[in-house]
């Protein structure tokens, strides 16, 4: 196995397995360079120097592409929907919609028609982004390198392995939590829950110490849970790829197991979003 790994690494132009893994974890970054011009980073150091206003073009592009795929697919099915014997695609869409509806009915006690479409969008979009992790790790980077004419270009196809994407989802949910908390309870009611819960007005400092970190931890936990699970899965796929031809049985076994992770992480993100927004609609 070691000889096969060394042969694969040499043929791919990487000095070691570690260099191979690190390269495949890099992003196609666009930003402002040291000389003041805007362009793509050619090394990890250049990407880091571009700072906050740089953008990961690959993950952003794939996330938008998959979002459009979700919208187009569901719109097409809804326009062609029949009351007769449905096809396989209509069956799948109806099962997903029914699952989301049941999840909202059991976990959300408020009255808000926005929650179910939001939950459906979150589940399907994150699921499609997670699903890209099952594409063989070298195919899409190789296509990108061939098109660009650069055999060392960075390119990733799994948006949820980029913490910027998962943090973006979490921040959007967090903003909705604050918005509905203030809309339903008023600013005083929202702040009062943080200041006076759970021990009453007399224990205000203690309440703040307990409630504020727990409240701020919601978006952090949402982002890191999704990112951590998908990133770990991607790293394992890359490590398995180092085995050359010996990778096929292990790759298949890990892919089958990872299907559960892909679905579960999308479902958990959706359910936690429903639960958090339900809390925002409840008076204490």
For residue 229, indicate whether it is catalytic: yes
Active-site hit among 107, 164, 225, 278: 225
* Structure tokens belonging to residue 140: 């899409």
Coil, strand or helix: which one is 29? strand
Q: What are phi and psi of 56, to 5 degrees?
A: -85, 100
Place of tokens 């200041």: 195
- Can you tell me the distance from the alpha carbon of 12 to that of 35, in angstroms, rounded to the nearest whole number? 32
Region for 200 from its dihedrals, namely left if φ exceeds 0, alpha if ψ lies in -120 to 50, beta otherwise: left
N-terminal to C-terminal alpha carbon distance within the chain? 61
For residue 181, indicate whether it is catalytic: no
For residue 102, indicate whether it is catalytic: no
- Can you tell me the distance from the alpha carbon of 243 to that of 29, in angstroms, rounded to the nearest whole number? 29
Count CB atoms within 10 A of the CB of residue 34. Answer: 8
Asked if 223 contacts 170 with a C-beta cutoff of 8 angstroms, the reply is yes
- Cα dihedral sign, 107-109-115-120: positive
Distances (CA, A) of 13 to 94, 127, 136, 225, 273: 47, 33, 18, 34, 44
* Residues with active-site annotation: 221, 225, 229
């Amino acid at each position: 196995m070691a000889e096969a790994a060394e042969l694969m690494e040499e043929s791919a132009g990487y000095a070691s397995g570690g260099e191979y893994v690190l390269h495949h974890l890099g992003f196609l970054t666009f930003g402002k360079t040291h000389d003041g011009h805007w362009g793509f980073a050619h090394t990890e150091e250049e990407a880091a120097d571009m700072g906050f206003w740089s953008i990961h073009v690959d993950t952003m592009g794939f996330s938008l592409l998959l979002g459009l795929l979700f919208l187009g697919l569901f719109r097409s099915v809804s326009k062609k929907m029949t009351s007769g014997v449905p096809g396989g695609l209509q069956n799948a869409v109806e099962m997903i919609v029914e699952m989301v509806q049941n999840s909202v009915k059991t976990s959300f006690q408020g009255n808000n028609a926005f929650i179910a479409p939001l939950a459906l969008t979150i589940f399907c979009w994150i699921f499609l982004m997670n699903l890209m992790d099952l594409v063989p790790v070298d195919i899409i980077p190789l296509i990108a390198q061939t098109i660009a004419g650069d055999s060392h270009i960075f390119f990733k196809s799994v948006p949820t392995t980029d913490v910027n994407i998962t943090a973006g989802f979490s921040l959007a949910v967090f903003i909705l939590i604050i918005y509905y908390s203030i809309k339903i309870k008023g600013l005083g009611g929202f702040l009062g829950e943080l200041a006076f819960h759970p021990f009453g007005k007399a224990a205000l400092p203690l309440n703040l110490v307990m409630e504020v970190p727990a409240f701020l931890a919601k978006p952090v936990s949402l982002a890191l849970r999704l990112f951590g699970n998908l990133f770990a899965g991607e790293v394992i796929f890359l490590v398995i790829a180092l085995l050359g031809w010996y990778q096929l049985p292990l790759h298949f076994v890990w892919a089958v197991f990872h299907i559960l992770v892909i679905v579960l992480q999308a479902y958990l993100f959706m359910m936690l979003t429903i639960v958090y927004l339900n809390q925002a609609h409840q008076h204490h």
